[in-house]
Amino acid sequence: MNELELTSADWLEPSWLVVPHVHALVTTRSGGVSLPPYGRWQDGMALPGGLNLGLRSGDDPAHVATNRARLQASLGGHKVAWLDQVHGAQIVRAEDALEPLDQGGALLQADASVTAQRGLVCAVLVADCMPVLLCDAAGRAVGAAHAGWRGLAAGIVEQTAQRVAALAGTPMETLHAYLGPSIGPSVFEVGAEVREVFLDRAGEAQRAATAQAFVAHPETPGKYFASLPALARLRLVRAGVTQIAGGEHCTVTEQERFYSYRRDQVTGRMAALIWLAD
């Protein structure tokens, strides 16, 4: 480890029981060179040293480039397949996402990637939306999905799981999923129209459980607090994925650890990454 690499204090590792050659992590807001408001947060103060990885966040591009280089060095030099995320449900192969990066072209527009190639890192950027990391039990394939409420409602999580299972040649029931840090159910305020979208797409068997993922706002009629982790779990279970970890970290309330767009508006981005070790 050298001074240009991150340390384990600068990221979270999923608490899940997967084979050792499946590697995964979620970065935090510390460990880089970005300045406030993209910096780290300590003792109620914004300080230099933020690990903002989002090129479209308004941060100095040179700082973001340095942060990405520092992250890549910490991954043993493995190439990261960055995406142009658009809050949709498009899924691509990480190999295809990497090609324009290598050639200096425009990033592929997608909100999830999958791969069975060792040493290639699937990655999504987040700052309130939920990252969902996936792998099969034998570690043949992996995937990463960016799941805000729109992508979640459009099925990006279960569709990414289906792609991982197909690459691995295994049933969906063998998959593991990790729900990364996202805006928590105590602060994620949505309108009644968002609740109706999920209820309409839940199916009769999950309608009651889906309704329970929304709590009526005590002071504002027609507003609800929504639980992205609960909604993601319901979608995964319906698809056959039952080995699900994570979902306990809130980006909004854990200010010292995470960037949050809902909380700060002008802010950085963390990355959730998963790969098969060489």
pLDDT tens for the chain, 278 residues: list them. 455 789 999 999 999 999 999 999 999 999 999 999 999 999 999 999 999 999 999 999 999 999 999 999 999 889 999 999 999 999 999 999 999 888 888 999 999 999 999 999 999 999 999 999 999 999 999 999 999 999 999 999 999 999 999 999 999 999 999 999 999 999 999 999 999 999 999 989 999 999 999 999 999 999 999 999 999 999 999 999 999 999 999 999 999 999 999 999 999 999 999 999 98
- In the prediction, which pLDDT does 101 show? 84
Provide the pLDDT for residue 77: 83
Side-by-side strand order, sheet with 22-27 = 11-12, 22-27, 270-276, 120-126, 79-81
According to the model, what pLDDT value does residue 1 have? 42
How many of the other CB atoms lie within 10 Å of CB of 124? 30
Please tell me the predicted confidence (pLDDT) of residue 56. Answer: 95
pLDDT of residue 203: 86
pLDDT of residue 105: 87
CA dist., res. 51 & res. 40, Å (int):
8
Specify the pTM: 0.97
Using alpha carbons, list the distances in angstroms from residue 206 to 132, 178, 227: 21, 21, 15
| Domain boundaries, given as residue ranges, for the chain | 8-182+244-276
123, burial (CB in 10 Å: exposed 0-12, middle 13-18, buried 19+): buried
So what's the pLDDT on residue 3?
Answer: 59
Query: What pLDDT, on a 0 to 100 scale, did the predictor assign at position 2?
Result: 52
State the CATH class of domain 8-182+244-276: alpha beta
